[in-house]
Amino acid sequence: MPKPPLPDEVQQLLARPNPSVITSLRPDGSPVSVATWYFWENGRVLVNMDDARTRVRYLRDDPRTTITVLADDDWYTHVSMQGRVVEWAADEGLVDIDRISRHYTGEPYPVRDRTRVSAWIEVDRWHGWGSAKASDNPAN
């Protein structure tokens, strides 16, 4: 699996509001994956979660994670990134979730009465397929 930086064409894919799935690890080591919105910026992934979600606790306890992004127009094209949460921040004023929501829907996030937290994921390795195929895949 290649290491960052990701090629420009892959970063262009990640800059779009694509469907994605993030995985965290339970205390017993078993994986849990859920659909999520994300935002790609400066070579890192921003995700934002309701602070009461169990996955927040899982990621705080073990920051290792994967996020898989599927091209919205061709799900065969996808990028899976392995990394870890390197930064946490309270989402004061819901600034981050509003930015992500506008990216996906064009509107601010509608739920305004829940505490939210932002997590920045640093990518250690990545794998691409379809039009985002990694350059070190044996099939290339």
The predicted model scores a pTM of 0.93
Q: Tell me if 115 is assigned to some domain.
A: yes
Residue 83: partners with Cβ closer than 8 Å, 6 or more residues away: 45, 64, 65, 66, 67, 121, 122, 123, 124, 125
The number of distinct structural domains making up the chain is 1
20 by DSSP, 3-state: which?
Answer: strand
Q: Tell me if 29 is assigned to some domain.
A: yes
Q: Could you identify the residue written with the tokens 């930064």? A: 87
102 by DSSP, 3-state: which?
Answer: helix
Q: Tell me if 137 is assigned to some domain.
A: no
Q: Tell me if 138 is assigned to some domain.
A: no
CATH code, domain with 59 = 2.30.110.10
Per-residue pLDDT reduced to its tens digit, 10-22: 999 999 999 999 9
Distance in angstroms (rounded) separating the CA atoms of residues 107 and 16: 16
Q: Tell me if 77 is assigned to some domain.
A: yes
61 by DSSP, 3-state: which?
Answer: helix
Q: Which structural domain range is residue 78 located in?
A: 8-132
Per-residue pLDDT reduced to its tens digit, 41-97: 999 999 999 999 999 999 999 999 999 999 999 989 999 999 999 999 999 999 999
